[in-house]
Amino acid sequence: MTNELDIFVGNTTLIDEDVYRLWLDGYSVNDAVALRVRSGILEQTGATAAVLQSDTMDHYRTFHMLERLLHAPPKLLHQLIFQIPPSRQALLIERYYAFDEAFVREVLGKKLSKGTKKDLDDISTKTGITLKSCRRQFDNFKRVFKVVEEMRGSLVDNIQQHFLLSDRLARDYAAIVFFANNRFETGKKKLQYLSFGDFAFCAELMIQNWTLGAVDSQVDDMDVDLDKEFLQDLKELKVLVADKDLLDLHKSLVCTALRGKLGVFSEMEANFKNLSRGLVNVAAKLTHNKDVRDLFVDLVEKFVEPCRSDHWPLNDVRLFLNQYSASVHSLDGFRHQALWDRYMGTLRGCLLRLYHD
Amino acid sequence: MPGKLKVKIVAGRHLPVMDRASDLTDAFVEVKFGNTTFKTDVYLKSLNPQWNSEWFKFEVDDEDLQDEPLQITVLDHDTYSANDAIGKVYIDIDPLLYSEAATVISGWFPIYDTIHGIRGEINVVVKVDLFNDLNRFRQSSCGVKFFCTTSIPKCYRAVIIHGFVEELVVNEDPEYQWIDRIRTPRASNEARQRLISLMSGELQRKIGLKVLEMRGNAVVGYLQCFDLEGESGLVVRAIGTACTLDKLSSPAAFLPACNSPSKDMKEIPFNEDPNPNTHSSGPSTPLKNQTYSFSPSKSYSRQSSSSDTDLSLTPKTGMGSGSAGKEGGPFKALLRQQTQSALEQREFPFFTLTAFPPGFLVHVGGVVSARSVKLLDRIHNPDEPETRDAWWAEIRQEIKSHAKALGCHAVVGYSESTSICEEVCILSASGTAAVLNPRFLQDGTVESCLEQRLEENLPAGCGFCHIPYDELNMPFPAHLTYCYNCRKQKVPDVLFTTIDLPIDATVIGKGCLIQARLCRLKKKAQAEANATAISNLLPFMEYEVHTQLMNKLKLKGMNALFGLRIQITVGENMLMGLASATGVYLAALPLPGGIQIAGKTPNDGSYEQHVSHMQKKINDTIAKNKELYEINPPEISEEIIGSPIPEPRQRSRLLRSQSESSDEVTELDLSHGKKDAFVLEIDDTDAMEDVHSLLTDVPPPSGFYSCNTEIMPGINNWTSEIQMFTSVRVIRLSSLNLTNQALNKNFNDLCENLLKSLYFKLRSMIPCCLCHVNFTVSLPEDELIQVTVTAVAITFDKNQALQTTKTQVEKSLQRASTDNEELLQFPLELCSDSLPSHPFPPAKEHLESASSNSGIPAAQRATSVDYSSFADRCSSWIELIKLKAQTIRRGSIKTTVTVEKASPMNEGNFRNRSAPPCANSTVGVVKMTPLSFIPGAKITKYLGIINMFFIRETTSLREEGGVSGFLHAFVAEVFAMVRAHVAALGGNAVVSYIMKQCVFMENPNKNQAQCLINVSGDAVVFVHESELEVVSSQPPTANCQSSCPGGDVTT
């Protein structure tokens, strides 16, 4: 006796959160059943393994049917086939678009292309996340990217509107889209200590200040592409390190202000020129796409690592950066104050976030 | 030209991509009604077209309006080749044809294609302008309301219940026409869908005409089915109960009525009936004229009839008017004659209702059923479906005579069904023989029942149990005792019925779902040989099904079955029997006897030990079940009345005098129909296998209850969380040479596992009750068994769930007040006066009185095996079979079985006392339920009947997720389409929802499958009670809440 056919359809679609998670995690029906058995559900409910199997299959089928709708969440809201309470709909969407930290770190900043998709096998092996789940997450990134890539208006708002995600998740996706579009390198060994959250934080600052949308809210791609003109202008900052007088003046201003306030004052004094050169050169190089991609590598190499090797406490870094950017205003010969603030304001935020072990 | 149909196509959304090149669609819409077609413009390159069309107007006869569906086809325009169909929407415009229902149909409908399923949605607005047509000879019956609900719909009042209406229409099945060989599956499916839709419309119109003829204005308990007879055609048939209904105007109408008793109410029928039927009453109610013209007798007859019912002993006890006792005799006789003849006027005194207005049901005789095996032949002339008509007429006649044999003049809870395999067809009909209160059938002065209520006051909830037949001349051997409730009248030891539990029935503890399951192998045979084989098996199946039911009932420690539905399904090589019912313990009936096992070889020691071991197990189970279902019948003490009834023959003389005094019996003609009225009453288990199967039924996990009736006795604090579901399972039997035992086990496991799965799936709803559990078995192929279950899970409030007998009794006392404030208007005087004053003391008395009258220790009553009587019965069975065998030669075989005793009364409805209402309705949610009510809510409007038929076919079964994926999607789509139609009518729920057919066929080798689904229900508008409370003050609600101990009135 075998069950040839076995279905259960409720007027209100039954969603089992635990099974949904197993499905999202890419487990096969049999693995999911095994995992559920291990969770002790049989003892709690007095059910048999066969019942569990049938239940799991049913849920999997439902999820499979829902998946098509989840690809365009507004459809899920308007469709008539599944009657699902709004709170459950939100849960379905949110969970479907949620991603694993380990996975996102692997693909962050990579081109969301077929080539990358082929590497998912390796990512799966490396992270221990099932290939199926990797694919779902990758496809989510790609889908969101495709939809909002060329849209005008705020990136976060667009994502929220088209995918009905929570604010938090929409911000994360904005970061993913931003990184994918600008292809920032995040995979280098040096950068391994950074979390997705660190990058997402930086992305948000950069979107707010460095993109086209920061100047004009009526352009296409406004939040996705960096403001090219701004990047061109950044070359002007070079004078801060190229002009020896200006550099010395800047150094003395900073040192005077910080004397006695920094635990690592002498190290700072000794390194000032190197650090300043590093930061300004990063800015000046951003005209080239290649260097834009290496932004985070450069920041870590030129600033984070030197400071870390001298054991700067975070607070000293903060004091230094504040003073470093503020002192420029007192340099009479320097004419690009606004540009400096737009650059340094964001960079300071990023550096502070990136500065940890 | 009595009607103008107006249609506007607004927009579409989520359309499929029809043009691969552009990933877009150039959609337009064809709107077709009858032979007229309109088209919208093509909306280029969009998946969300905005047509915003003009109003398309169709000028049509109302006959067509009733028959034809509105057909909307969405197509993709193609310049070079033929336009591709995206899908269709059929809209039944019937709900627009009567004034009280919907006025406009407007909303998003899923666009459905029989091959691809739902493909986007379309927004449509439909209106109808009807012109009055006074033509007497018209063929249409616009304005007759249809309800699937098998009780008087909640916002109506029954003025007259006219009786049975039936009709059938036949046609050739398009799937079997020659043209089907050359057309696409899609075209064939659509032709079938359209044909069935047309036939349904026609059928409904014809039934409506019959109702108008009877001077009714509505059909309640409308049940339409179609029989796919294959080569020989397609039959669509329907039965229902014609009524004259009055709309209860508004809550305000009955709220202030509190202290003005029946007087006010009495006038209502006269006032509201626009054409007082004095002269015009149709052939069905000829007696009415008499009663009207002779008013004194009318009032008398009322009184006397009240004593005829529950109160036949009123005079003796000194309650009520003494004079009535004396005069009552002759009048009663008169009344009896009236009833009798009123009902006999009707060809078939049948009622498809399962719940009734208070006072309607007087006595219940038992379940009557008839089956007949027929060989299908091609229907030659579709306009004269005489053979099919004759078949059913024959069966109904049979039922009628069975009822008569039980001393009953009517059959309630009546239903009909078929099972077809190749060219063999089993027709089945069943119902509950009953004695009805004639008033409803005549002038509907319903309030008289109220008078009766007021007078009677005491013997609540047992009247319907009293036997309607003569003890001296019993149609079957039964153990009679005096009623454990009133101790005045005789009751049987067990009651089987097909109706819902009457709301005033006094029940102890909770009920439970009881199923008997049975398979019998059958040799494959052709035509007549096959029919013979089947009809030879049938009586044995019926017999065994009843044995099982009886045993399981006893095992549960219960003594009555409600909602009994026995389904016999025929397949190529087997017959399946599935009986479902809800077991309860009726306080009026005696304690059920235990089950005793007797060994066949009493000398064998080890065997005996085994037997005693089994016996112990059974006794333990009974005890456990009693605890589980909270069956604690009151302790039995002294008093002779309830004491062991002497052997039937001994007591006959004693009883005779009694029966004469109550004068009921003498006029009954019991001799007629007695010959083939068979009643099984079984106390033995003849095989160990049966015992084992008894014990394998696992009770539902704690927190779960289940029943197949509308309501669960003992639970009355529903919350508003409901979940309707359909579950389908198909198993493939593994081996070809199966035995009956193995087959039984497989089938049993299938059902049990299915139930277990349901309990598991719905565990988040605990504490909850599965109500209206409806199992359907079919045998689609040789080795396949398909079981389809539809039910609704309703959560209840655990804190208030601990109501026991006390509230039960109370409940019955106050039933008049609580049961149906909407159904009938009069209850309020009771609730204001009598209720608050003595809800408790009478209850107590009641308990005591009930306890005082059953004097037999349970053990003594355990009925032991009675082989001789068993043999007797068997031999008569065989006789019967022989008899039937002779008819086989004439090409049609029939077996008939009449069974057991039965019961009930009024409206079963717990809505009013549902727990604190909660959950705000979310926009767009459409609830579906097989029940006639929605817990925690009040139905304010009936929008019309939903009756939909869909076919889905696939040629890419694997790609769609195999058979399960295919059917899962289809069932979900069907739900979606039902919801969309209800929403478009302006409704927010479907009540009395039923999936009447789910025919699934697969051909995995060809990667194909096909499924047909037929569903129906009533579209309604409901408001949550919480919302309602804001609007109107609500004495009834307050009352019923206070009636629940611990019931939180404030919340």
Helix B688-696, helix B740-761: angle, nearest 10: 10
Nearest beta carbon to residue B963 from set A4, A65, A80 = A4
List chain B residues with CB under 8 Å of A82. Answer: 972, 976
A83 and B701 within 8 Å at the Cβ level: the answer is: no
Predicted local confidence at residue B454, as pLDDT: 39
Torsion angle in degrees (nearest 10) through CA of B477, B478, B480, B484 = -170
- Residue ranges of E strands in B155-274: 156-171, 218-228, 234-247
| Joined tokens for residue B741 | 């035992």
pLDDT (tens digit per residue) in B785-844: 999 999 999 998 876 544 443 444 344 434 333 333 333 333 333 333 333 334 333 333
Q: Is the pLDDT of residue A132 over 70?
A: yes
Closest-CA residue of B relative to A49 is B757
> What is residue A196's predicted lDDT score, i.e. its pLDDT?
94
Provide ipTM, 2 decimals: 0.89
Residue A169 has pLDDT above 90, yes or no: yes
A79:B14 CB<8 A? yes
Please tell me the predicted confidence (pLDDT) of residue B312: 29
Query: Over the stretch B511-521, which tens digit does the pLDDT of each residue have?
Result: 899 999 988 88
Question: How much is the average pLDDT of B22-50?
Answer: 91
Q: Say what percent of chain B tops pLDDT 90.
A: 25
Residue B297 confidence class, pLDDT cut points 50, 70, 90: very low
- Cβ atoms of B516 and B541 within 8 Å: the answer is no
**Euclidean distance between CA atoms A203 and B156, whole angstroms:** 65
Q: Which residue has the higher pLDDT, B940 or B314?
A: B940
Question: Binning pLDDT at 50, 70 and 90, where does residue A141 land?
Answer: very high
Residue-range domain boundaries for chain B: 1-136, 144-249, 349-443+461-630+674-800
**Model confidence at B80: pLDDT above 90:** no
Q: Are A54 and B757 within 8 A, CB to CB?
A: yes
B121 with A80: Cβ contact below 8 A: yes
Pairing status of strand B218-228 against strand B234-247: antiparallel
Query: Chain A within 8 Å of B750 (Cβ-Cβ)?
Result: yes
Selected residue with higher pLDDT from A153 and A134: A134
pLDDT, average across residues A263-275: 88
**Between B485 and B773, residue with greater pLDDT:** B773
The alpha carbon of residue B971 is apart from the nearest alpha carbon of chain A, in Å, by 7
B725 to A10: CB separation less than 8 angstroms, yes or no: yes
- CB contact under 8 Å between A80 and B749, yes or no, is no
**Smallest Cα distance from B148 to chain A, Å:** 19
For the cut 80, the answer to whether the pLDDT of residue B382 exceeds it is no
In the predicted structure, residue B883 carries a pLDDT above the cut 90: no
pLDDT of residue B600: 55
Q: Has residue B614 got a pLDDT over 50?
A: yes
Pure H helices in B214-321:
251-254, 262-272, 287-293, 295-308, 314-317
Tokens at residue B744, please?
């039984």
Instruction: Indicate yes or no: CB of A3 within 8 angstroms of CB of B729.
Output: yes
Amino acid (1-letter code) at residue A315: N
- Which pair of structure tokens corresponds to residue A168? 């938090």
Other CB atoms within 10 Å distance of the CB of residue B1042: 15
Q: B898 or B22, which is more confident?
A: B22
CB contact under 8 A, B730 and A62: no
| Residue in A134, A142, A75, A87 with CA at minimum distance from that of residue A114 | A142
Are residues A61 and B756, on separate chains, in Cβ contact within 8 Å? no
Task: Tell me the torsion sign for CA atoms B36, B40, B42, B43.
Answer: negative
- Indicate yes or no: CB of A47 within 8 angstroms of CB of B756: yes
pLDDT at B540 over 60: yes
Region B53-80: what's the mean pLDDT? 87
Mutate to test the interface with B, among A81, A82, A87, A146 (most CBs of B within 10 A): A81
CB-CB under 8 Å, A64 with B760: no
Q: Are B979 and A80 inside 8 Å of each other by CB?
A: yes
What is the pLDDT at residue B460? 55
Which residues of chain B make contact with A80, given a CB cutoff of 8 A? 108, 110, 118, 121, 976, 979-980
CA distance A340 to A344: 6
- In the numeric block, which tokens belong to residue A153? 């208006």
Q: State the smallest CA–CA distance between residue A112 and chain B in angstroms.
A: 22
Is the CB of residue A58 less than 8 Å away from at least one CB of chain B?
yes
Residue B708: name the closest of B514, B991, B431 by CA: B514
**pLDDT tens column, B110-151:** 999 999 999 999 999 999 887 765 554 556 667 788 999 998
Interface contact flag, B118 A51, Cβ < 8 Å:
no
- In chain A, % helix, strand, coil (3-state, to 5) comes to 70, 5, 25
User: pLDDT at residue A127 above 60?
Assistant: yes
Question: Could you tell me what percent of chain A has a pLDDT over 90?
Answer: 50
pLDDT tens for each residue of B901-936: 333 333 333 333 333 333 333 347 899 999 999 988
Does position B440 have pLDDT exceeding 90, yes or no?
no
Closest-CA residue of chain A to B729: A6
Q: In what order do the strands lie in the sheet with B84-91?
A: B36-39, B27-33, B70-76, B84-91, B105-113, B117-130, B3-13, B56-60
What is the C-alpha separation between B205 and B210, in angstroms, rounded? 9
Calculate the average pLDDT of chain B.
Answer: 71
Q: Within a 10 A sphere around the Cβ of B870, how many other Cβ atoms? A: 18
> In this structure, is the dihedral angle defined by the CA atoms of residues A59, A64, A70 and A72, taken in order, positive or negative?
negative
Q: Tell which of B758, B761, B789 to mutate to test the A interface (max A CBs under 10 Å).
A: B761
pLDDT for the residue numbered B221: 93
B1-136: CATH number: 2.60.40.150
In this prediction, residue B642 carries a pLDDT of 41
* Percentage of the residues of chain B whose pLDDT score is greater than 70: 64
Tell me how far apart the alpha carbons of residues B912 and B922 are, in angstroms, rounded to a whole number: 22
Residue of chain A minimizing CA distance to B743: A1
Mutation to test the A interface, candidates B108, B743, B964, B991, most A Cβ within 10 Å = B964
Query: What residues in A contact B732, CB-CB < 8 Å?
Result: 1-2, 4
Give Cβ neighbours of residue B456 (< 8 Å, ≥ 6 apart): B306, B310, B311, B314, B320
Q: Do B968 and A61 touch (CB under 8 A)?
A: yes
Spatial separation of the C-alpha atoms in residues B1027 and B920, rounded to whole Å: 9
**pLDDT one-digit tens code per residue, B957-969:** 888 888 999 999 9
- Cβ separation of B732 and A2 shorter than 8 Å? yes
Alpha helices in B428-526 (DSSP H): 439-442, 447-456
**What's the gap between Cα A120 and its chain centre?**
18
Q: Does B760 touch chain A (CB under 8 A)?
A: yes
Residue A164 has pLDDT above 80, yes or no: yes
Task: Specify the pLDDT at position B727.
Answer: 95
Q: Residue B767: is the preceding peptide bond cis (ω within 30°)? A: yes
Residue B946's contacts (CB-CB under 8 Å, 6 or more residues apart) are B92, B978, B981, B982, B990, B1015, B1016, B1017, B1018, B1019
Question: CB–CB of B13 and A52 under 8 A?
Answer: no
Q: Chain A neighbours among B 488-507 (CB < 8 Å)?
A: none
Per-residue pLDDT tens for A277-330?
999 998 888 888 888 899 999 999 999 999 999 889 999 999 999 999 898 888
CB contact (8 A) between residue A54 and residue B728: no
Provide the pLDDT for residue A8.
95
For range A264-288, the mean pLDDT: 88
Q: Tell me, what amino acid is at B986?
A: G
Q: Indicate yes or no: CB of B701 within 8 angstroms of CB of A55.
A: no
- Closest alpha carbon within chain B to A75: B14
Name residues 911-970 of chain B within 8 A of A (Cβ). Answer: 922, 925-928, 961, 963-965, 967-969
> What is the DSSP secondary-structure string of B799-861?
GGTT--HHHHHHHHHTHHHHTTTTT-STTHHHHHTHHHHSSSHHHHHHHHHHHTT----HHHH
**Domain B144-249 CATH (choose: 3.30.930.10, 3.30.110.70, 3.40.50.450, 3.40.50.720):** 3.30.110.70
Dump pLDDT digits (tens) for B628-665: 888 877 765 444 444 444 333 333 222 222 322 333 33
Q: Say whether B144-249 and B1-136 share the same fold.
A: no
Q: How far is CA B702 from CA B310, B473, B753, in A?
A: 38, 46, 17
The reply to whether residue A46 touches residue B701, judged by beta carbons under 8 angstroms, is yes
3-class DSSP assignment, residue A159: helix
A-chain residues within 8 Å CB-CB of B926? 83
Q: Which of B757, B759, B963 is the closest to A5 by Cβ?
A: B963
Picking from B728, B786, B975 by the largest number of A CB atoms within 10 A of its own CB, the best residue to mutate is B975
pLDDT, position B1019: 93
The answer to whether B1017 and B933 have CB atoms below 8 angstroms apart is no
pLDDT in tens, B208-262: 888 988 888 899 999 999 888 887 788 899 999 999 888 876 543 333 333 333 3
Chain A residues close to B971, C-beta within 8 Å = 7, 9
All structural domains of chain A with their residue ranges: 17-82, 101-210, 228-354
Q: Is the pLDDT of residue B1048 over 80?
A: no
Chain B residues with CB inside 8 Å of A48's CB? 756
- The pLDDT tens digits for B88-116 are 999 988 888 876 667 789 999 999 999 99
pLDDT for res B565: 93
Neighbours of B99 (CB within 10 A): 10
- How does residue B450 score in pLDDT terms, banded at 50, 70 and 90? very low
Q: How far is A71 from chain B (nearest CA, A)?
A: 13
pLDDT of residue B693: 64
Beta-carbon contacts of residue B69 (< 8 Å; ≥ 6 apart): B90, B91, B92, B93, B194, B197, B198, B201
